Amino acid sequence: MPAYKRILLKLSGEALMGDDAFGINRSTIVRIVEEVAEVTRLGVEVAVVIGGGNIFRGVAGGSVGMDRATADYMGMLATVMNSLALGDAFEKVGVKARVMSAIAIDQVVEPYVRPKALQYLEEGKVVVFAAGTGNPFFTTDTAAALRGAEIGAAIVLKATKVDGIYTADPKKDPAATLYSSISFDEAITRQLEVMDATAFALCRDQKLPIKVFSIFKPGALRRVVMGADEGTLVHV
């Protein structure tokens, strides 16, 4: 039995890059989508928020010197591209998926309407939330917390390159160990970076647990959904 009925999966844009320097790597996106498909077959309702960092980020790279809000809108459009690629990849593996955008771009993607999203989830469709929160100065982590709370997800699964939250940066400190679980309060006290501050505060206020795990470990998503002790659980 899966541990959760409905999940919000946050994928960073970089998760789609694979070993490429930028953009979307086909075999990587197919592998991720297949892992999500497996979870839907367990009867779990899945919503996805995808980042845009593999294409454009509002606070770095090509945006240096730009007006921040303009750069952020570009970042949000990058997430729309990733969302379209994901939606397409889901359909290719036979999973019904719907992409919904927080920014009006109706000819390309249907708009985000909460009741509609809930309906799709109940129908077993994967819902991909594009364009983050629709607002500059936010991140897709915050979009994941926001949409997760809105759809009543049991948990936000933050898929990353690392396998969870460590006591210290394992690249700098070889003695660093992985937390299997930690409370929101303890994470604050220990100044551990789980998600950005806005996303973290929203999850904490809404008592929405977060699990940080590595999407690069084959089968990790399935194991996490089945309640395995993998990655780090951030709990109330």
Chain positions contacting ligand UDP, by CB under 6 A: 12-14, 51-53, 57-59, 71-72, 75-76, 78-79, 132-133, 135-136, 138-143
Return the number of other C-beta atoms located less than 10 Å from residue 47's C-beta. 27
Q: Is 142 a known ligand-binding residue?
A: no
Q: Is 217 a known ligand-binding residue?
A: no
Whose tokens are 């949000």? That residue is: 76
Return the number of other C-beta atoms located less than 10 Å from residue 40's C-beta. 18
- Cα–Cα nearest to 110, from 127, 96, 93, 92: 127
CB of residue 86 to ligand UDP, shortest distance in Å: 13
Q: Which residue, 181 or 198, has its beta carbon nearer to ligand UDP?
A: 198
Q: Is 166 a known ligand-binding residue?
A: yes
SS3 198: helix
Q: Can you tell me the distance from the alpha carbon of 146 to that of 117, in angstroms, rounded to the nearest whole number? A: 14
**Is 12 within 8 Å of 51 (Cβ atoms)?**
yes
Q: Which residue, 7 or 144, has its beta carbon nearer to ligand UDP?
A: 144
Whose tokens are 């993607």? That residue is: 109
CB of residue 69 to ligand UDP, shortest distance in Å: 8
Q: Which residue, 141 or 163, has its beta carbon nearer to ligand UDP?
A: 141
Single-letter amino acid, residue 142? T
Q: Which residue, 78 or 182, has its beta carbon nearer to ligand UDP?
A: 78
Q: Is 12 a known ligand-binding residue?
A: yes
CB of residue 174 to ligand UDP, shortest distance in Å: 27
**Is 144 within 8 Å of 199 (Cβ atoms)?**
yes
CB of residue 12 to ligand UDP, shortest distance in Å: 4
Binding residues: 10-13, 52-53, 57, 72, 133-140, 160, 166, 169
Binding residues for UMP: 52, 72, 133-140
